[in-house]
């Protein structure tokens, strides 16, 4: 919970060892001076406690988001969703449109597509330094970004007690079914009234660019920004440009 101003809910992706901080630490620099940034760890990720017997599902994560907004006293927020978080941002906009101001979807899941080898590897991760390094290299276009500190930070987060058990329970093989479980009906997406910014890396090996092209067709009031020389980490590989793009977009709606 950083900054002040119009609230922005940031929903992270589903990579191993992810957390809200790992996902959004760089965009916070641009957003924090203008907005109140609210970035929870979704159940099963980061450091949020998961109740015993918790069943991971799109509905359960949606209930978490609505409960979170209620708990922090926010009636309506801009929503930024990354990858898996994009599907959850769409879920929020569809189920509770009055709680959402503007939408930003980045490398978003949420429409049907054939699972990529990259996403299959991400969801099938087994903890080791070597496996984490390989996964991080799938995410990044610029391999120089995948340094030892980043790999170790993500590996240590993924290897904490109970974390891998939760992670492996979310998206077990065969994993195409989870792409479909996180997709929304075309009619529901087409009915979204919110002004929407779609952002995607041209060279994304995890979520194909065509997902954002589809969303751009289906969401009437939408615009699409494609970053070249960029993989699945738009907010890290092009942090300054991404931050300015989002500030400009959300600033129009304040």
C-alpha atoms less than 13 angstroms from C-alpha of 236 in its C-beta half-sphere: 22
* 232 belongs to the catalytic site: yes
- Of 19, 87, 204, 212, the catalytic one is 204
* 204 belongs to the catalytic site: yes
Which residue, 99, 93, 98, 62, is CA-closest to 77? Answer: 99
- Of 34, 78, 184, 232, the catalytic one is 232
β-pairing, 196-201 vs 35-38, is unpaired
* 120 belongs to the catalytic site: no
Instruction: Report the alpha-carbon distance of residue 16 to residue 253 in Å, rounded.
Output: 34
- Of 83, 87, 108, 158, the catalytic one is 83
- Catalytically annotated residues: 83, 204, 232
């Amino acid at each position: 919970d950083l900054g002040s101003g119009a609230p922005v809910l940031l929903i992270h992706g589903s990579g191993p060892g992810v957390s809200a901080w790992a996902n959004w630490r760089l965009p916070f620099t641009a957003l924090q001076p203008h907005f109140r940034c609210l970035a929870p760890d979704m159940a099963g990720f980061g450091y949020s406690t998961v109740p015993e017997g918790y069943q991971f599902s799109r509905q359960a994560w949606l209930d978490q988001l609505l409960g979170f907004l209620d708990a922090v006293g926010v009636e309506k927020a801009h929503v930024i969703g990354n990858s898996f978080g994009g599907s959850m941002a769409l879920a929020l906009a569809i189920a509770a449109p009055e709680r959402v101001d503007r939408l930003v979807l980045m490398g978003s899941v949420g429409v049907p597509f054939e699972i990529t080898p990259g996403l299959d590897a991400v969801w099938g991760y087994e903890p080791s330094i070597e496996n984490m390094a390989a996964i991080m290299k799938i995410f990044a276009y610029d391999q120089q970004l995948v340094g030892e500190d980043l790999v170790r930070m993500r590996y240590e987060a993924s290897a904490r007690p109970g974390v891998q058990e939760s992670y492996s329970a979310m998206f077990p093989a065969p994993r195409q079914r989870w792409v479909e479980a996180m997709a929304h009906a075309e009619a529901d997406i087409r009915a979204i009234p919110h002004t929407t910014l779609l952002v995607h890396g041209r060279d994304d090996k995890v979520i194909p660019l065509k997902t954002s092209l589809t969303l751009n067709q289906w969401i009437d009031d939408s615009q699409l920004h494609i970053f070249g020389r960029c993989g699945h980490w738009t907010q890290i590989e092009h942090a300054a440009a991404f931050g300015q793009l989002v500030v400009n977009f959300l600033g129009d709606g304040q």
